Amino acid sequence: MLEYRDTVRDEWIDYNGHLSEPFYVMVFGFATTAMMGDAGIDPNDGNSLYTVEAHVRYLREVAPAAELKVTTVVLDVGAKKVRFCHEMYVGDTLVATEELLALHVRDGTTAPFPEHARERLRHHLSPAPDYAGRAIS
């Protein structure tokens, strides 16, 4: 399991006095970038992930200056795609989740993962959480 940590900044707070909706997704994006780094997927070498689907659940409000921890698990790795989940916590409280499907891109086009990246992503394989794969009801 991977971890990314951040602190809620004042400019991320909305008119209701808590973390604004787009900033949950931005923090999840930072966690995706951290996962890419762990896997050796380097945009400076022309490699990246391209999100094709995402499902976010906003479970709790997040206060200003809250310390965030995002954990990341990989659910499936294919030749060119990866499915993974982020879970955002404040302390021990789960405040949001994001499930994503992303494609590996090399120099602007879909391409197979380099073997080292695929193996590193597989290292983080975990059973799917109960919310994964659900549709909005």
Segment 24-66, tens digit of pLDDT: 999 999 999 999 999 999 999 999 999 999 999 999 999 999 9
State the maximum Cα–Cα separation within the chain, in Å, rounded to a whole number.
Answer: 46
Residue type for 4, please?
Y
How many whole angstroms from its chain centre is CA 90?
Answer: 16
DSSP state at residue 127: P
If pLDDT is split at 50, 70 and 90, which confidence band does 137 have?
confident
DSSP state at residue 124: T
Q: Read off the pLDDT of residues 101-134 as tens digits, 9 standing for 90 and up.
A: 999 999 999 999 999 999 999 999 999 999 999 9
The Cα–Cα gap between 126 and 35 comes to 14
pLDDT of residue 82: 99
Residue pair 65/13 in contact (Cβ under 8 Å)? The answer is no
**CATH class label, 2-123:** alpha beta
Task: For residue 101, list its beta bridge partners.
Answer: 53, 83
